[in-house]
């Protein structure tokens, strides 16, 4: 295993990795309800886990995971409900799902992400990959061109145009895709037995294909291998352009 985590590198090791491939990976996490079966930090665990493998292949340095992210919300009777608290699968009334502590406003998140990009550019990076929590990745995607020009860096996220095969990186919410990815990366953190055994009962605040029948570590590994290959191609090309 190579040393790829930013916080673990000495300045000398940092410069050596930067020289070899000036790529920064920014895991866009949350601390958010991901069903009864997945850990609250699932978004960061998946994106950082994928990025560590990518950095070991292509080169580059992986940042610590962010845990703040944008999200839709509503104030009802003075109480703040996040997107998943208002899922129809939670019940007729919104309910605060335990553990969620990530939501910040869209503009504030865009400012944070823009500043991260500007700081990384200053530190010497020329290529930046930011990916993870859906709405956070959406902010990256919609500002890609603007920030790329403004800071003269190449920017990427890891979504494809069509994710209908379920083999992308974080394309649902705690359903078959995300559950399979956590199963592949950190099987010790998945507790499928916490979900209702009766398949006619839909688990609360899970959006996508039923993880109880569709998720597996094999599916997660297949997705990771496929996306590692795809991102390796994209980043190798990006590296050639700056050399
Ligand atoms: Zn997620």
Confidence of residue 243 (pLDDT cuts 50, 70, 90): confident
Instruction: Kindly give the distance from the C-alpha atom of residue 40 to the centroid of ligand 1, in angstroms, as a whole number.
Output: 9
pLDDT tens for each residue of 117-157: 999 999 999 999 999 999 999 999 999 999 999 999 999 99
Give 233 Cα–ligand 1 centroid separation in angstroms.
25
φ, ψ at 169 (rounded to 5°):
-110, 110
Q: pLDDT digit string (tens) for 38-82?
A: 999 999 999 999 999 999 999 999 999 999 999 999 999 999 999
Give the other-Cβ count within 10 Å of 143's Cβ: 17
- As beta bridge partners, residue 61 has 24
Residues that place a CB less than 5 A from ion ligand 1: 43
**pLDDT at residue 1, rounded to an integer:** 75
Distance 122 CA to ligand 1 centre (A): 30
Task: Burial-class residue 71 by CB neighbours within 10 Å (0-12, 13-18, 19+).
Answer: buried
Cα-to-centroid distance, 13 and ligand 1 (Å): 32
Of residues 93, 91, 92, 102, the one with CA closest to residue 33: 102
Q: If you classify domain 6-242 with CATH, what class do you get? A: alpha beta
Residue 112: closest CA among 68, 46, 80, 74: 68
Q: What is the pLDDT of residues 96-115, one digit of tens each?
A: 999 999 999 999 999 999 99
pLDDT reported for residue 85: 97
Residue 83: predicted pLDDT: 96
Q: How far is the CA of 135 from the centre of ligand 1 (A)?
A: 10
């Amino acid at each position: 295993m190579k040393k790829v985590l930013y916080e673990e590198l000495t300045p000398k090791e940092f410069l050596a990795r930067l020289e070899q491939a000036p790529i920064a990976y920014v895991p866009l996490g949350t601390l958010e309800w991901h069903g009864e079966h997945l850990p609250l930090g699932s978004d960061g665990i998946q994106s950082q886990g994928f990025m560590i493998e990518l950095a070991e292949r292509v080169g580059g340095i992986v940042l610590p995971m962010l845990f703040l992210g944008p999200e839709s919300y509503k104030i009802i009777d003075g109480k703040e409900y996040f997107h998943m608290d208002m899922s129809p699968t939670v019940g007729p009334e919104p309910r605060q799902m335990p553990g969620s502590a990530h939501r910040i406003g869209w503009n504030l998140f865009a400012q944070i992400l823009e500043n991260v990009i500007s700081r990384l550019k200053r530190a010497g990076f020329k290529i930046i990959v930011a990916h993870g929590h859906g709405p956070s990745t959406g902010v990256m995607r919609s500002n890609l061109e603007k920030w790329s020009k403004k800071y003269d860096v190449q920017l990427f996220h890891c979504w494809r145009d069509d994710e209908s095969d379920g083999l992308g990186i974080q394309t649902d919410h705690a359903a078959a895709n995300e559950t399979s990815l956590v199963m592949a990366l950190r099987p010790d953190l998945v507790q499928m037995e916490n979900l209702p055994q009766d398949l006619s009962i839909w688990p609360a605040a899970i959006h996508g294909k039923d993880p109880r029948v569709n998720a597996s570590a094999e599916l997660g590994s297949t997705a990771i291998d496929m996306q590692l290959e795809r991102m390796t191609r994209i980043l190798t090309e990006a590296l050639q352009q700056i050399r």
